[in-house]
Amino acid sequence: MMFGRSRLGGVLAYLAAAFLLLPLAAVIPVSFTAKRFLSMPNGEWSLRHYRSLFEDGAWLSSIGTSVSIALMSSVLATALAIMFGLGLWLGRPRVGAFLVGFALLPMVVPPVTSAIILYFLLARLGLLDTIPGLVIGHAIMTMPFAVVAMLSAFAKLDRGLDMAARNLGASTGQSIFLVVLPNLKTGTLSAWFLTFMLSWEETTVTLFTSGVEVITLPKRIWDNLRLNVDPVIAAISVVMVVLTTVVIITRALARHRLSPSG
Amino acid sequence: MAGASRNGNGGLGTRALLWTLPVLLLTLYVVPFAGVISWSVTQPEVGFGQYWRILSGGDMTNVFLRTLRIAVVSTAITILVGFCLSYYWVMGSRLRQTILEVCIFIPFWISVLVRAFGWLIILRDNGLANGFLMATRLISEPLGTGRNEFAVIVGMVHFMVPFSVFPMATVMRKIDRRILLAAHGLGADPATVFRKIFLPLSMPGVFAAFVMVLVFSVGFFVTPAILGGGRVVMVAEAVFVQMFQTTNWGLGAAMSVVLLVLIGAIVGLAYRLLGLRSFVG
């Protein structure tokens, strides 16, 4: 008896999968159009939009802005999450569950409410439309995801490690830096990567708190989609889709080969 | 050892580590939220006028009702599509599992803007969908698929499906296959095993996914704003318009507070009715 082998159900699942990939495939032909507006390449294929992506300073500088904000805010969010996780793990405070719930607030609150809150904050601090302002905003928005990733890493960590290190004469600091943190490498890396990606594509808070002096890539794409759609967006989309697809297929193939057949 | 006990559990250093993040969040997030609430009752004049405008049945009430309607419809579709995908991701043959996993994860990692853009290309009036249907002579006039609720729901469902798969698949993975085999051994055909055993056992995952997707959809901003083209305004976009186009900060702030209360009510209700401890925890 095999489950999950029904022909009709399988067809439905593949239809659902095709639905997921359809809009990503749709951007590919449009990116090769020779025209200056959004259209299918009618027999005439061109790389002009890819060229302008790399030659137009505005797009490049937005990519640079997005990458640097994502780098800074993800390091900040991950560092805060590590400190918080360490405090919980070492101290085992009675208010721990409450504090975790509190730390996850920006993930549960609707993004647009967070965006107004951060608009209010940054206006008061005089940091609207600045890179430090966006770094603060993105760090707050992405921090809960880093906390989730770090807490699941801490949950898998053996308490015996810390005790053994202390029994052997290590101070708390030595135990943290030489024993605990090196054992959290994978969790830290996934927390950092997740917060980096979330900041890289963050749109709601960015639209509320910047847009004249500091223009991130999502903000530039947003403006283009709302005003007149430049096919350069299709070229950017294709680049992102191809990069993501390569990474995910490589990973899936590696796992498919590693797992025992069955 | 003396040093360890002094700096150890509950020491000053540990407490500093523990409290840095909550204190920062309190000052940079909770305190400004009090500021937003004060905007909602003082801008442009002191009082609850803005809240009255939202609740009194006028244009702003309609925005909230439209948002709830679109959110419920797209959540229901998302759960159906997501369930189908989760089932074959967990129970299918190994090849099916790998193919479906790739198809679920690729859109998951791609920016919401790119995904909305893809649907814009397909659904706008001179887009791929109408072009294809007219070329195959299935229709003679373009269908109005762009800038309406249909487009918004398609885009939202597309965004949510990968998110809905994770809680459902997690629960399905924990279902003991031997129970299914036992039911089959006792004479139940596959459809009965699915209906009487698999489906009830996977319900906790379905409920968790439902609440999560509903909460997401009610606060959705980017996809409705792009695919609705200003004609299908949901709450989040209305807040943006109030803040930056009509500059009625009080109304924008009040709407964002009501939205938060609405989402709190949904989560609280789910917690009470369904006992979704796994969802909150």
CB pair distance less than 8 Å for A225 and B122: no
- Sort out which chain B residues have CB atoms less than 8 A from A116's CB and list them: 36, 239, 243, 252-253, 256
Which of A46-60, A112-126, B127-141: highest mean pLDDT? Answer: A112-126
Q: A250 lies in a domain? A: no
CB-nearest partner of B98 from A109, A147, A256: A256
- Sort out which chain B residues have CB atoms less than 8 A from A233's CB and list them: 117
B212-216 contacts, C-beta under 8 A, 24 or more apart? B212/B163, B212/B164, B212/B167, B212/B279, B213/B74, B213/B75, B213/B78, B213/B79, B213/B160, B213/B163, B213/B164, B214/B71, B214/B72, B214/B75, B214/B266, B215/A108, B215/A110, B215/B263, B215/B266, B215/B267, B216/B160, B216/B163
Does the structure show a pLDDT above 80 at A43? no
Identify the bridge partners of residue A45 per DSSP, sorted by sequence position. A33
CB-nearest partner of B106 from A13, A21, A91: A21
Q: What is the DSSP string of chain B?
A: -HHHHHHSTT-HHHHHHHHHHHHHHIIIIIHHHHHHHHHHHHSSSSSSHHHHHHHTTSHHHHHHHHHHHHHHHHHHHHHHHHHHHHHHHHHS-HHHHHHHHHHHHHHHHS-HHHHHHHHHHHHSTTSHHHHHHHHTTS-SS----SSSHHHHHHHHHHHHHHHHHHHHHHHHHHS-HHHHHHHHHTT--HHHHIIIIIHHHHHHHHHHHHHHHHHHHHT--HHHHHHSTTSS--HHHHHHHHHHTS--HHHHHHHHHHHHHHHHHHHHHHHHHH--HHHH-
CB-nearest partner of B13 from A106, A116, A172: A172
Does the structure show a pLDDT above 70 at A156? yes
Does the structure show a pLDDT above 80 at B144? no
CB-nearest partner of A110 from B20, B226, B236: B236
Per-residue model confidence (pLDDT) at position B277: 53
CB pair distance less than 8 Å for B128 and A108: no
Give the 3-state secondary structure of residue A197: helix
Closest-CA residue to A138 (of A193, A188, A70): A70
- Sort out which chain A residues have CB atoms less than 8 A from B263's CB and list them: 108-110
More confident residue, A242 or B137: A242
Q: What is the pLDDT of residues B159-203, one digit of tens each?
A: 999 999 999 999 999 999 899 999 989 988 888 898 999 999 999
Q: What is the pLDDT of residues B9-65, one digit of tens each?
A: 557 888 899 999 999 999 999 999 999 999 999 988 888 988 998 988 888 999 999
Residue B20 vs residues A79, A121, A153, A179, A260: alpha-carbon distances, Å: 11, 19, 20, 22, 45
Q: A246 lies in a domain? A: no
CB pair distance less than 8 Å for B221 and A203: yes
CB pair distance less than 8 Å for A16 and B161: yes
CB pair distance less than 8 Å for B18 and A84: yes
CB-nearest partner of B9 from A30, A92, A248: A92
Q: What is the pLDDT of residues B57-74, one digit of tens each?
A: 888 999 999 999 999 999
- How many separate domains does chain A show? 1
Q: A242 lies in a domain? A: no
CATH at A160: 1.10.3720.10
CB pair distance less than 8 Å for A5 and B18: no
**Mean pLDDT across chain A:** 90
CB pair distance less than 8 Å for B240 and A120: no
CB pair distance less than 8 Å for B4 and A166: yes
The interface predicted TM-score of the complex, written ipTM, equals 0.89
CB pair distance less than 8 Å for A26 and B235: no
Q: A103 lies in a domain? A: yes
Domain range for residue A69?
A: 63-222
Q: For residue A25, what is the nearest residue in chain B, using CA coordinates?
A: B118
Distance CA A84, CA A157 (A): 15
More confident residue, B21 or A256: B21
Residue A99 vs residues A94, A105, A152, B31: alpha-carbon distances, Å: 10, 10, 16, 17
**Mean pLDDT across chain B:** 88
CB pair distance less than 8 Å for B102 and A103: no
Q: CA of B102 to nearest chain A CA: how many angstroms apart?
A: 6
Per-residue model confidence (pLDDT) at position A260: 56
Quick one: CA torsion of A133, A137, A140, A144, rounded to 10 degrees? -150
Distance CA A21, CA B71 (A): 22
CB pair distance less than 8 Å for A87 and B14: yes
Residue among A15, A20, A78, A220 with most chain B CBs within 10 A, to mutate: A20
Task: Note whether A247 and B105 are within 8 A (CB).
Answer: no
DSSP 8-class letter at A157: S
Q: A259 lies in a domain? A: no
Per-residue model confidence (pLDDT) at position B13: 84
Q: For residue A27, what is the nearest residue in chain B, using CA coordinates?
A: B118
Q: A40 lies in a domain? A: no
Predicted confidence band of residue B280 (pLDDT cuts 50, 70, 90): very low
Q: Kindly report the CATH number that applies to the domain delimited by B49-280.
A: 1.10.3720.10
Q: CA of B57 to nearest chain A CA: how many angstroms apart?
A: 22
Per-residue model confidence (pLDDT) at position B10: 59
Mean pLDDT, range A66-90, rounded to an integer: 96
Does the structure show a pLDDT above 60 at B3? no
Per-residue model confidence (pLDDT) at position B281: 37
Q: For residue B119, what is the nearest residue in chain A, using CA coordinates?
A: A23
CB pair distance less than 8 Å for B184 and A111: no
Q: A262 lies in a domain? A: no
Q: CA of B85 to nearest chain A CA: how many angstroms apart?
A: 5
Does the structure show a pLDDT above 90 at A227? no
CB pair distance less than 8 Å for B36 and A116: yes
Range scoring the smallest mean pLDDT among A30-34, B148-152, B218-222: A30-34
More confident residue, B17 or B137: B17
Does the structure show a pLDDT above 90 at A35? no
Residue type present at position B211 = V
* Percent of chain A whose pLDDT exceeds 70: 96
Task: Note whether A56 and A236 are within 8 A (CB).
Answer: no
- Sort out which chain A residues have CB atoms less than 8 A from B259's CB and list them: 110, 112-113
Distance CA A55, CA A85 (A): 44
CB pair distance less than 8 Å for B177 and A27: no
- Sort out which chain B residues have CB atoms less than 8 A from A81's CB and list them: 21
Predicted confidence band of residue A205 (pLDDT cuts 50, 70, 90): very high
Chains A & B: contacts with CB separation below 8 Å:
282
CB pair distance less than 8 Å for A24 and B128: no
Task: Note whether B50 and B250 are within 8 A (CB).
Answer: yes
CB-nearest partner of B109 from A38, A204, A244: A244
CB pair distance less than 8 Å for B32 and A121: yes
- Sort out which chain A residues have CB atoms less than 8 A from B119's CB and list them: 23, 26
Q: CA of A24 to nearest chain B CA: how many angstroms apart?
A: 6
Distance CA A55, CA B51 (A): 49
